C-alpha cells in the first residue's frame, strides 16, 4: 500500500467514525423532548416569534467587503514570513513589487466600493426605500412619514 492508500484508510476511517458515533448516540443517549426543550434558545428568555428571520440584504455587501481584507491578510502573511529569505537572495525588490501589486488590486476593490457609497450605511436608507431627498436616518424618515399621515405624536 502506498502513501495514498494510507490516506484513503484515514479518510475512510474518519468517514466511518462519524456514522459510528451517531449510531452510538442513537443507542446510548436518552431522548426526552418537550416543548420547553424544543423551544428556541434565547439565553433563558421566552422566545418571541420564530428564529428564522429576514436579514437586511445589505449585510451581503459588508460580507463581500470583508473578503477584501480577509484575502489580503491570508495571502500577505506568508509573503511576510518568506520576505527575509527573498531579501537575502537578492529578490527583495521583485517580491516587494509582487505583493505591492497584489495589495493594490485589492485596494482598488475597496476604492470602488467606497466610491459607490457601499461603506455608508445611512446613505442606503433613501435608496432602499426608493424615495427622494437628502441623506437621513431611518428614524427621521419614519418620523417624516408619520407627520405626513397626520400623526400628532410623531
Distance CA 67, CA 62 (A): 9
19, 40, 149 from 52: Cα distances, Å: 29, 10, 32
Interface residues with another protein (CB under 8 A) are 28-32, 34, 36-37, 39, 41, 43-46
Q: How far is the CB of 41 from another protein (least distance, A)?
A: 6
Q: For another protein, which is the closer residue by CB, 3 or 28?
A: 28
Give the shortest CB-19-to-another protein separation in angstroms.
18
Q: Angle, to 10 degrees, between the axis of helix 92-115 and the axis of helix 58-88?
A: 170
H-type alpha helices, 29-137 = 35-38, 58-88, 92-115, 123-129
Q: Quote the cell numbers at residue 88.
A: 537575502
Nearer Cβ to another protein, position 36 or 132?
36
- Residue among 14 and 30 whose Cβ is closer to another protein: 30
Nearer to another protein among residue 7 and residue 21 (C-beta) = 21
Amino acid at each position: 500500500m502506498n502513501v495514498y492508500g494510507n490516506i484513503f484508510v484515514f479518510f475512510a476511517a474518519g468517514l466511518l467514525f462519524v456514522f459510528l458515533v451517531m449510531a452510538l448516540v442513537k443507542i446510548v443517549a436518552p431522548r426526552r423532548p418537550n416543548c420547553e426543550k424544543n423551544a428556541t434558545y434565547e439565553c433563558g428568555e421566552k422566545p418571541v416569534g420564530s428564529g428564522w428571520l429576514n436579514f437586511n440584504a445589505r449585510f451581503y455587501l459588508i460580507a463581500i467587503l470583508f473578503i477584501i481584507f480577509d484575502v489580503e491578510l491570508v495571502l500577505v502573511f506568508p509573503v511576510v514570513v518568506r520576505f527575509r529569505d527573498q531579501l537575502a537572495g537578492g529578490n527583495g525588490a521583485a517580491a516587494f513589487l509582487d505583493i505591492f501589486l497584489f495589495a493594490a488590486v485589492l485596494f482598488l476593490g475597496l476604492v470602488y466600493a467606497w466610491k459607490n457609497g457601499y461603506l455608508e450605511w445611512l446613505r442606503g436608507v433613501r435608496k432602499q426605500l426608493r424615495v427622494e431627498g437628502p441623506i437621513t436616518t431611518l428614524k427621521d424618515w419614519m418620523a417624516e412619514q408619520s407627520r405626513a399621515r397626520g400623526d400628532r405624536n410623531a
